[in-house]
């Protein structure tokens, strides 16, 4: 039953990302990617290859709908690869069984995990989209603002899930 809820939650996030969030134009600098919440909350234990495969497929779906030529796929695959190592370094992964969230990990550990993974993802996406250091200040501003807005969404959803 929990897997079914997780799949529905993931599909809703993908739908919202593709049909709502991608069509919002917030000041030109802010491009939140709410779909990465699916990858942040992947259940533990999960085989590393499955984690990377799921992340790659989610990135591919976003790329198909946003015409971004593999940018999201690469960023998500990297995020899936880094997540397991990061979880081991931030928390005692052996005590986790089920979905990764602020309740299971703890508020500080979940915030650390989310912050690092959100900014890894956003850095890769925006640097690959720009594919140049010509407007590096603009790209850096996009990474920071979009990362903070996405992180605010991630923390907000985690807070709402506790209620």
In whole angstroms, give the CA distance from residue 10 to residue 5. 9
Q: Provide long-range contacts, Cβ within 8 A and 24+ apart, for 4-10.
A: 6/41, 6/43, 6/99, 9/38, 10/38, 10/58
Reported as a single tens digit per residue, the pLDDT across 72-108 is: 999 999 999 998 888 888 777 666 666 777 667 778 8
- Bond preceding residue 109 cis, omega within 30 of 0: no
What is the residue whose two structure tokens read 């992947």?
A: 42
Percent helix / strand / coil, the chain, rounded to 5: 75, 0, 20
Asked if pLDDT for residue 149 goes beyond 70, the answer is yes
pTM of the full structure: 0.88
């Amino acid at each position: 039953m929990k897997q079914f809820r997780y799949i529905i939650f993931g599909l809703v996030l993908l739908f919202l990302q593709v049909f709502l969030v991608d069509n919002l134009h917030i000041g030109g600098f802010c491009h939140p990617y709410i779909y990465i919440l699916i990858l942040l909350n992947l259940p533990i234990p999960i085989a590393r290859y499955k984690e990377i495969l799921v992340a790659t497929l989610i990135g591919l779906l976003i790329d198909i709908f946003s015409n971004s030529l593999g940018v999201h796929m690469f960023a998500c695959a990297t995020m899936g690869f880094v997540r397991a190592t990061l979880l081991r370094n931030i928390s005692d992964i052996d005590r986790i069984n089920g979905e990764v969230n602020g309740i299971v990990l703890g508020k500080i550990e979940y915030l650390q995990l989310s912050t690092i993974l959100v900014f890894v993802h956003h850095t890769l996406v925006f640097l690959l989209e720009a594919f140049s250091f010509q407007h590096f200040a603009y790209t850096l501003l996009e990474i920071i603002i979009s990362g903070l807005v996405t992180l605010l969404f991630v923390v907000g959803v985690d807070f709402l899930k506790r209620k």
